[in-house]
């Protein structure tokens, strides 16, 4: 391709690059980048969201560092990130390897697993609330029926376990997405490799680990980044299921930001939290990239 590029009419390809990039850059800058910088700017003010704003420099950030609720929210967010990365991705990978055939059962299973993705979070939140319901919930009912009454918990209202109770709905609702991503990547593995594996008698988990996984390493990396960024800004599910409670037990950075901005008239502080969310995401993604590239270097 290098030679090919050189042979291209340099002027033409330059013009192509510029025309091609302009629409994306313009729309994205105008509707994403400008608002974000703008909101970051509010983060340096003490502002109720209307009327006079008072410049306080890094005051909001200093408060964030001292704020125990922010710390709690950050910890919960990290739990979410770990649960997504180590829950959704391996599960989706295994399912993708198992469900690659186009027969009725597999198609049904794929659709079933994907279905939660198309439901809006409002519906998902509602159904899981009833699954976990302390009196009429189906989970506690099943545990009773299986004579496991001792395992019954107050899933969403016990401050120690509420955040973990949110993980199954979280994983359940997004596995389908990663399943699709991995399936399309696996389909791109040339047929000869599968044939070779069959001849060698490699199958199942071993095939996944030793042959498929390395082939789609890039895709997995993409999925990890999607996963991290997605779970750091997750908001809807928690806002609907627990409102961040009880007593901040399931507070996330995004719910905390929303409350500060729209409930307690602390717009500046909310903006500072939102800027922090971005900085933390960058840090985490940078770390994950660094970890994988270091491992690759060692190989």
Partner 1 sequence: MSSTTPMFMGKAGPSAQAGTQVWRRTRNAIFWTLLTCYGIVTLYPFLWLVLSAFKTNEDFYVRPFGLPQVWHSENFMKAWDSSRLGTAFGNSLIVALGALVLTLFIAALTSFILARFQFRWKGGVLAFFVVGMLIPIHSTLVPLFILMKQMSLLNTYWALILPYTAFALPTAVFVLTAYLTSVPRDLEEAAFIDGTGLWGLFFRIMLPMSIPALATVTILSFLHSWNDFSFALVFINKTALKTLPLAIANFADGYQTDYGLTLAAMTLSVIPTIALYLVFQEQMMKGMTAGAVKG
Partner 2 sequence: MKTKWIAMICSAAMMVLLLSGCGGDNESSGSGGEGEKVSISIWHNWTGQDAKAVAMRKIIEDFRVDHPEIEVIDEGLPTDGLRTRLRTVAAADEMPELFVMFPDAMTKEFVKGNLLQPIDEELNANPEWRDNFIPNALDGFTVDGKVYSVPMNLAPSSFVFYNDALFKQHNVKVPETWEELQTAVQTFKENGVIPIALGNKTNWVAQSTFFSTVADRITGTDWFLKAVEQDGAKFTDPEFIDALKTFQELGELGAFQEGFNSLDETQMMQLYFQGNAAMVINGGWALANLVNNAPPEVLDNTHITIVPAISGGKGAPDTTSGVVGTGLGVSKKLSGSQKEAAMKLFYALAGPDGQKATLESSTLVSYNIELDKSKAHPLFVELYDLIQNVKIVPVYDSKLGSATVEVVNNGLQELLMGGNAEDIAAKIQSAQATAVEN
Question: Considering only residues 188-227, where is the footprint of partner 1 by CB under 8 A?
Answer: 188, 190-191, 218-219, 221-222, 225-226
CB of 205 to partner 1, least distance (A): 12
Q: Which stretch binds partner 1 (CB under 8 A): 56-64, 79-87, 146-154, 249-257?
A: 249-257
99-113: burial string, b at 16+ Cβ within 10 Å, e else: beeeeeeeeeebeeb
Using CB under 8 A, which of 62, 75, 82, 130 touches partner 1? 130
Using CB under 8 A, which of 202, 235, 288, 292 touches partner 1? 235
φ, ψ for residue 47, nearest 5 deg: -145, 135
What are the C-alpha distances in Å from 30 to residues 22, 36, 271?
Answer: 12, 10, 19
By CB under 8 A, residue 262 contacts partner 2: yes
Which partner from the list partner 1, partner 2, none does 278 bind, CB cut-off 5 to 8 Å by kind?
partner 1
Residue window 119-138: x/- pattern of binding to partner 2, with contact defined by CB under 8 A: ----------x--xxxxx--
What DSSP element (H or E) covers 18? helix 10-28
CB 234 within 8 Å of CB 120: no
At residue 100's C-alpha, the angle toward residues 201 and 115, to 5°, is: 150
Q: How far apart are the first and last CA of the chain?
A: 27
Q: Which is nearer to partner 2, 168 or 229 (CB)?
A: 168
CB of 160 to partner 1, least distance (A): 26
CB 259 within 8 Å of CB 244: yes
By CB under 8 A, residue 108 contacts partner 1: yes
Query: What letter does residue 33 receive in the DSSP assignment?
Result: I
Which partner from the list partner 2, partner 1, none does 162 bind, CB cut-off 5 to 8 Å by kind?
partner 2
Question: Considering only residues 154-183, where is the footprint of partner 1 by CB under 8 A?
Answer: 172, 177, 180-181, 183
Which partner from the list partner 1, partner 2, none does 233 bind, CB cut-off 5 to 8 Å by kind?
partner 1
Question: Considering only residues 32-91, where is the footprint of partner 1 by CB under 8 A?
Answer: 32-36, 38-39, 42, 49
Residue window 161-200: x/- pattern of binding to partner 2, with contact defined by CB under 8 A: -x--------------------------------------
Rounded Cα gap, residues 244 and 255, in angstroms: 7
Per the listing, tokens 């779970």 go with 231
By CB under 8 A, residue 59 contacts partner 2: no
Which partner from the list partner 2, partner 1, none does 270 bind, CB cut-off 5 to 8 Å by kind?
partner 1
- Cα 202 off chain centre by: 33
171-192: burial string, b at 16+ Cβ within 10 Å, e else: bbbbbbbbbbbbbebbeeeeee
Tell whether omega for the bond before 246 is within 30 degrees of 0, i.e. cis.
Answer: yes
Q: How many CB atoms lie within 10 A of CB 133?
A: 15
Q: Which residues bind partner 2 (CB under 8 A)?
A: 19, 23, 46, 48-51, 129, 132-136, 154-159, 162, 242-243, 245-248, 259, 261-267
């Amino acid at each position: 391709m290098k030679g090919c590029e050189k042979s291209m009419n340099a002027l033409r390809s330059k013009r192509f690059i510029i025309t091609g990039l302009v629409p994306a850059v313009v729309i994205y800058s105008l509707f994403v980048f400008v608002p974000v910088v703008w909101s970051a700017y509010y983060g340096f003010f003490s502002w109720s969201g209307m009327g006079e704003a008072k410049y306080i420099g890094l005051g909001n950030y200093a408060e964030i560092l001292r704020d125990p609720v922010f710390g709690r929210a950050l910890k919960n967010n990290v739990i979410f990130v770990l649960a997504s990365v180590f829950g959704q991705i391996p599960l989706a990978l295994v399912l993708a390897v198992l469900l690659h055939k186009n027969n009725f059962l597999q198609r049904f299973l794929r659709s079933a697993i994907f279905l939660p993705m198309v439901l809006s979070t409002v519906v998902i939140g509602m159904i899981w609330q009833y699954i976990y319901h302390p009196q009429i919930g189906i989970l506690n009912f099943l545990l009773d029926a299986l004579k496991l009454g001792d395992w019954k918990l107050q899933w969403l209202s016990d401050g120690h376990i509420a955040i973990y109770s949110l993980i199954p709905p979280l994983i359940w609702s997004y596995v389908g997405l990663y399943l699709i991503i991995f399936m399309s990547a696996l389909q791109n593995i040339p047929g000869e490799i599968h044939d070779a594996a069959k001849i060698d008698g490699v199958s199942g988990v071993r095939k996944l680990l030793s042959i498929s996984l390395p082939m789609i390493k890039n895709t997995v990396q993409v999925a990890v980044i999607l996963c991290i960024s997605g779970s750091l800004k997750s908001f809807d599910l928690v806002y609907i299921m627990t409102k961040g409670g009880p007593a901040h037990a399931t507070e996330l950075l995004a719910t905390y930001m929303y409350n500060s901005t729209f409930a307690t008239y602390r717009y500046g502080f909310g903006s500072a939290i939102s800027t922090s969310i971005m900085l933390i995401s960058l840090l985490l993604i940078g770390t994950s990239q660094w970890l994988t590239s270091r491992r690759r270097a060692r190989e």
